[in-house]
């Protein structure tokens, strides 16, 4: 059994893989060696990979040592052609996401939308080339910024329905944030479809099902995309 650990800005996702199949997953608000050991206690772990978007700390090093884990960094080989120019600053989640997409849809042009703390949009070609992408604030960060940088606007959160326009301050904020981020994504998808044939669009991250519902046409939701990519990178380096 293989252990995959993905430490994001907000949550940590852990998973057990039997070859390419996900056996079990869990989302953690915080992580520790004890929690990880308990999660994997009923299985023999033969290999482990850890990805983090945060600074490597003492607890993560304990986990790495205990499981003899691979820690994803710029030196790790990946099964795609990475054309990103600043590898030192490329987020592990972005890299793993495009690897995962390339595994599920090989030899396809793919846009990967990761809707988490940040909104990242990445493009991989049908030749397996990672071309780069965009980074902007995620939904909750946009709500947070309106509350932080004004005196009177309240802190709101993602709503299931998105009004076209608001008729009071609350609905105006919801419309501005949610319609705004949808318009941003639709514009990127439209531009990519104009340049790349047979384009696959996949959404992942904590808010992926919201975007799947709102975007509707030819959109795939895969909440475990980064985990799948990390598992593939682990296999590629063994």
In whole angstroms, give the CA distance from residue 178 to residue 184. 10
In whole angstroms, give the CA distance from residue 102 to residue 107. 7
State both tokens at 152: 């009177």
In whole angstroms, give the CA distance from residue 197 to residue 48. 37
State both tokens at 216: 């509707």
φ and ψ at 22, to 5 degrees? -75, 125
Q: Which residues contact 164 (CB under 8 A, 6 or more apart)?
A: 175, 179
**Out of 6, 93, 114, 207, which one is annotated catalytic?**
93
229 closest CA partner among 205, 213, 206, 197: 205
DSSP lists the bridge partners of residue 27 as 13
Run of H or E including 230: helix 225-236
State both tokens at 85: 């120019």
Q: How far is CA 22 from CA 56, 142, 177, 227, 228, in A?
A: 26, 33, 34, 9, 8
| Active site (annotated) includes residue 93 | yes
Catalytic positions, written as ranges: 93
């Amino acid at each position: 059994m293989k252990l995959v650990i993905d430490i994001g800005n907000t949550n940590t996702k852990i998973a057990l893989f039997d070859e390419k199949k996900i056996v079990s997953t869990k989302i953690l608000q915080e992580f520790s060696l004890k929690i990880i050991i308990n999660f994997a206690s009923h299985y023999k772990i033969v290999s482990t990979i850890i990805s983090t978007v945060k600074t490597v700390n003492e607890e993560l090093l304990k986990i790495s040592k205990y499981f003899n884990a691979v820690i994803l960094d710029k030196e790790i080989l990946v099964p795609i052609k990475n054309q990103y120019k600043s590898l030192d600053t490329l987020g592990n989640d972005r890299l793993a996401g495009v690897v995962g997409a390339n595994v599920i849809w090989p030899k396809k042009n793919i846009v990967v939308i990761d809707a988490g703390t940040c909104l990242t949009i990445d493009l991989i070609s049908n030749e397996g080339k990672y071309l780069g992408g965009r980074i902007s604030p995620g939904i909750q960060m946009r709500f947070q910024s309106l509350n932080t940088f004004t005196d009177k606007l309240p802190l709101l959160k993602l709503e299931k329905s998105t009004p076209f326009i608001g008729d009071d301050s609350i609905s105006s904020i919801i419309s501005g944030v949610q319609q705004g981020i949808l318009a941003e994504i639709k514009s990127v998808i439209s531009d990519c479809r104009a340049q790349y044939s047979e384009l696959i669009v996949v959404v992942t991250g904590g808010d992926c099902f919201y975007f799947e519902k709102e975007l509707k046409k030819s959109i795939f939701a895969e909440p475990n995309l980064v985990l799948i990519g990390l598992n593939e990178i682990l296999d590629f380096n063994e």
